[in-house]
Structure 1
């Protein structure tokens, strides 16, 4: 990487204080941290070999204040840490979703610089350009530091190691972000991977970052998120016998079963595997640990579950109400210690250029989309959605101010909370998600050509929408807007998602009543939910109105010069008839004006031709 002018690395205490006050580094300081950490990690092998005690953290996802709470709990900031032999290992997914991804990434890189042999960062599936540009980090970084810094981050991502082996008295523990691959039989196979690249949607690198253990509970097998209820989980009695099967939920990679895990662990003299990648209600989960798996277990030592998932982003997306956890692999004791925390109170990000920049990007391609929440208000007016309740009072019941919302986990009966049973990661690979969204846009284009029996509301605007077309760029931006709102990835928008989008992207707060009103406003076909189809229809309606106004303006702008010319000619003719014979200068002025008008008319005709 390009070296920046040498400057002193900020202390962790100073950097923490700065970020907690939402003060940014300057660009040179940010690049300095990225480059120094990159140079350190680039020299590390694909597989790290560490000695216990090791504290293992799962996904962080831009939740800086939760990260600080976790580090406080494990006494990282205590003076005794420098004297101890404890190592910190992070399993990836530092960015996206949360509003403080830049702060999380820069702080972790600063930790790496201060403790190069005590702090280790593995790569997660979000540490690449394809994913982080789709799920929010690119937009955040563009608003805070600019796109140049973002691309330096993506280069740094490629330097992150892929796995770690922790040696303890009882045996060795394999640590990785997601899981295993059918093409990887040994640790040396992982070391042979060329990691300094963008991961493809297939292959060993993809599998280490994207694979999942096969679901073990009823209701977790290839079901869309909206169908998962908050019922107690029922464990499946008989183990899955297929070692590898396609991971339809992710849209890439595989599910691996217990046999695939046992084979890899046994072949490489490993005791168990610790991974992240999936949100867990309690912050952690033991896999393949029920008696149904005992007869299949080929490991010499069966004292630990073969797979342990750990997730360290509490109340993920400010929605799911889950706990965070980290795992302590002890040096001598015959156990792993799991430490759990609730979510940290955190502010909303302060208004910075991100909001204006994001919406300016939208409007550069979609000039017919009104700025700010006026878009939702415009659709409410066009679709005749009545105002309900006192929406002019403080809009703070759903998303409350700067800090209060973090103290209120979602209602256990709420729509998002109902999907908490085990969120078997509904974050698809952008390629797979784009295919689904592309299918919707193609279907929408086809449906516009054949007007079937529309609903009463749709019939009011159907003719206006039918003959509207979008450019490929417009389609891409509309899909991006939809993806930014659809935080749970179920391809349907709820009131909580719309409110969060308005707060985080537009910097405005709305209450629950207004959020429900906006859901009704966007539900173009009145089928009870808002999908991409509805958003495209709403955008088409606005584009039709916009084009109509622009056409009127164009006509006026075309005829206004000639109307003005006619008025000038009439005035000149009047002056000439009234005063031309009496005052010679009036006659000369009249002739000059007529000459200029004739020249202008001739020039205009030539331009038109």
Structure 2
């Protein structure tokens, strides 16, 4: 029997697990419900829309409490909830998030709608952590049932709002898709490839819009500072709007950044998405054409981390002459991100959007992160370190690995480190004491706000756009292969890897198997949260806390980061991690070889002691027997002490 939502919430908030049978029942019943739904859903307002969640269960509960979802009232019976995908990976409670959403779908199938994100597939979720978490909590077989359920998720939705129809999708558009009917005809019940329309719907992004910052020392005309919202130029946000925004949102302590909107827009319809390593960037012209062709007002999507929880695309004055839509009072593309303080790493806000059934525009509510407990040990470490130890036995599943690397790389862990910029992760975002609904963020076509004024609805609060550099694993593999090849060539030239006295020089193929290299890549990916191919001190601290269940100080995290920097270039990349593993494996082999030599002497000693004992038993001289008995006893004591010392040394 499927548990109630309140029962499931109580269990998950106390970090208790449901039985495997209950988990499978939830998965199968939700699959049966969603399997009957079309590729593109038709949903009538009112609707609350959520972006990426990424395993942040406690933030999901907070957002549901905001709309009083668990209360029995008329408003909840009419309101629909739409989730845009990416429910798993990265966060520590991915199983809880997806099981709770599926249970919501079972209990309220006509009020809860789930779309597929790029993480709802085997290639991505097995790489970014969900498979390991699921294996630790429910077993690997349950993971494959999840994959089958993911394939039943719809791909897109069209919201029927008073202002017009809104197209909702996780990623974006595809050059192979011109109409909604094209999406309906796709076969969604399969694993997405790295190209094609199914991949594009899940992976594509709008072309980045770059803005130039106006520093505090930059000169601005006094006339620009005093302009009214209706008569703004391209140079700055109106002073009056900034002040009213601060009063409404209570952000008086936040220093807002002024921006110049991009003057020359990017007019390319499609360009390769080099950041993701697959799919495309779509430009404003591609968006206008798709919206006009399908009689749509705008597009709402997720897929990208945003500092404020959302972002308007192609909405500056520079795009006004290119916009061919009938109603240009709304931004053509809106990104929504609902995972505040993403991965416990960034200081971003989350956001959810309200689409009412009355012509009053759309409201965006920003969400501050909620404190959550540390995940229990079974949630991550048991499954992950069992797999690591089986493939990489020379890497200790504790902070001893970092301490040994500090010793090998001559890093002093006793001195207090200086806070070097290269070892710090940038944390950009807004510090809010409470969640806010900002009237300045309300989009409406019935008021006097013009298309020219639209970018200023976020201009006062928007910081520099942060893009997630998360890549498709298949696209990242060539880069990692290039790194390992360079490391192999460097090691072959230096002849620096020693395995045994009989074979002092070996190449990478002998040192690392393919499985070992894949495991090292996986370990690097789990630590590298922001996907920039460089490990920062706060990423290492987070990895230790989540995987080893240990909390370390910021100073210790910096020291551990320096300990992994084998080439002393100020940053830790995959080559450094491979070099660390090579040193640990060399040390491991040397210890193994030493153990073998000691075992040979041990066997010889045992044989010698046995001979002495037999002689003592046969001799008829008591004084000789007594003196000879001391010899094997001394050998046994010496052997015991040496064994204890070697055991303590090897850990």
Report the counterpart of residue 477 of structure 1 in structure 2.
519
Q: Which runs of 5+ in 2 are unaligned?
A: 214-255, 430-462, 497-503, 622-651
Does the residue aligned with 2:287 lie in a helix, a strand or coil? helix
Which whole-Å CA distance do the structure 1 matches of 2:51 and 2:187 have between them?
24
Task: Check whether the contact 1:169–1:332 (CA below 8 A) recurs between aligned residues.
Answer: yes
Once the two structures are superposed, the pairs formed by residues 183-332 of structure 1 within 5 Å of their partners are 183-218=176-211, 234-332=260-358
**Displacement after TM superposition at 1:389 (Å):** 5.7
Q: Residue 155 of structure 1: which of 115, 127, 148 is its match?
A: 148
Residue matched to 1:553 = 595
Between stretches 546-555 and 176-185, larger displacement belongs to: 546-555
Deviation of the 1:354 alpha carbon: 3.2
Residue of structure 2 equivalent to 1:402: none
Q: Displacement, 1:491?
A: 0.7
CA distance in 2 between counterparts of 1:234 and 1:537 reads 45
**CA-CA distance at 1:98 after TM superposition:** 0.7
Whole-Å Cα distance in 2 between the matches of residues 219 and 276 of structure 1?
Answer: 25
**CA–CA distance in structure 2, aligned partners of residues 547 and 347 of structure 1:** 40
**Aligned pair partner of 1:175 in 162, 168, 172:** 168
Q: Distance in 1 between matches of 2:263 and 2:343?
A: 33
What per-residue deviation string (whole Å, max 9, x for no partner) do you get for residues 289-308 of structure 1?
11111121121122211111
Paired residue for 1:17, among 10, 14, 25? 10
Q: Shift of residue 348 of structure 1?
A: 1.3
After TM superposition, where is structure 1 displaced by more than 6 Å over at least 4 residues in a row?
Answer: 463-468
The yes-or-no answer on 1:131 pairing with 2:124 is yes
Cα offset, 1:578, TM superposition: 4.4
Aligned partner of 2:569 in structure 1 is: 527
What residue number does 2:480 align with? Answer: 437
Is 1:54 equivalent to 2:64 in the alignment? Answer: no
Query: Which has the larger displacement, 267-276 or 443-452?
Result: 443-452
> Structure 1: how far apart are the matches of 2:370 and 2:505?
48
- Judging changes above 3 Å, is the alpha-carbon distance between structure 1 residues 128 and 334 closer, same or farther for their aligned structure 2 residues? same
Q: Tell me, what secondary structure is at the counterpart of 2:312?
A: strand
Residues 345 and 539 in structure 2, CA contact (< 8 A), matched pair in contact too:
no
Q: Helix, strand or coil: the match of 1:529?
A: coil
User: Are the structure 2 counterparts of residues 234 and 253 from structure 1 closer, same or farther at C-alpha, using a change threshold of 3 Å?
Assistant: farther
Contact 1:91-1:123 within 8 A present in 2 as well: yes
Whether the 8 Å contact between 2:121 and 2:151 is mirrored in structure 1 is yes
Partner of 1:501: 543
Describe how 1:381-530 pairs up with structure 2 within 5 A: 381-388=407-414, 415-417=425-427, 421-451=464-494, 469-530=511-572
Residue 72 of structure 1 aligns to a residue whose secondary structure is: helix
Shift of 1:236: 2.2
Aligned-partner Cα distance in 2 for 1:100–1:498: 19
My pick for the range that moved more, 236-245 or 190-199, is 236-245
What SS does the corresponding residue of 1:274 show, helix, strand or coil? strand
Residues 1:353 and 1:77: Cα distance change in structure 2 (over 3 Å): closer
Larger mean CA deviation between 418-427 and 263-272 belongs to: 418-427
What's the CA shift for 1:554?
1.8
In structure 2, the partner of 1:394 is none
Verify the 8 A CA contact 1:314 1:342 in the aligned structure 2: yes
Alignment CA distance shift 1:418-1:84 (3 Å): closer
Q: Do the aligned residues in 2 keep the contact of 1:465 with 1:541 (CA within 8 Å)? A: no
Instruction: Render the CA deviation track for 1:408-432: whole Å, top value 9, x for unaligned.
Output: xxx9x96321597322221000111
- The Cα shift of 1:11 comes to 1.3
For residues 55-74 of structure 1, the aligned pairs below 5 Å read 55-74=48-67
Q: CA deviation at 1:550?
A: 0.6
Distance 1:355 1:386 in 2: 28
1:232 Cα offset (Å): 6.0
Contact 2:306 / 2:465 at 8 angstroms: preserved in 1?
A: yes
Does structure 2 retain, via aligned residues, the 8 Å contact 1:142–1:354? no
Coordinate RMSD, CA, aligned: 2.5
CA distance change for structure 1 residues 433 and 233 in 2, over 3 Å: closer, same or farther?
farther
Do residues 75 (structure 1) and 100 (structure 2) align? Answer: no
User: 1: distance between equivalents of 2:515 and 2:56?
Assistant: 32
- Using the alignment, how far apart are the partners of 1:257 and 1:389 within structure 2? 52
Cα 1:414–1:383 shift into 2, 3 Å: closer
Q: Are 1:112 and 2:138 an aligned pair?
A: no
Counterpart contact for 2:380–2:546, Cα < 8 Å:
no
1:120 partner SS: strand
Given that 1:465 and 1:537 are in contact with CA atoms closer than 8 Å, whether structure 2 keeps it comes out as no
**Cα distance between partner residues in 2 of 1:418 and 1:558:** 60
User: 2: CA distance between counterparts of 1:83 and 1:571?
Assistant: 87
Q: Conserved in 2, the CA contact under 8 Å of 1:389 and 1:513?
A: no
Secondary structure of the residue that 1:346 maps to in structure 2? coil
Matched with 2:454 is none
Task: Give aligned pairs, total.
Answer: 536
Taking the aligned partners of 2:375 and 2:521, their CA distance within structure 1 comes to 24
**Equivalent in 373, 384, 388 of residue 362 of structure 1:** 388
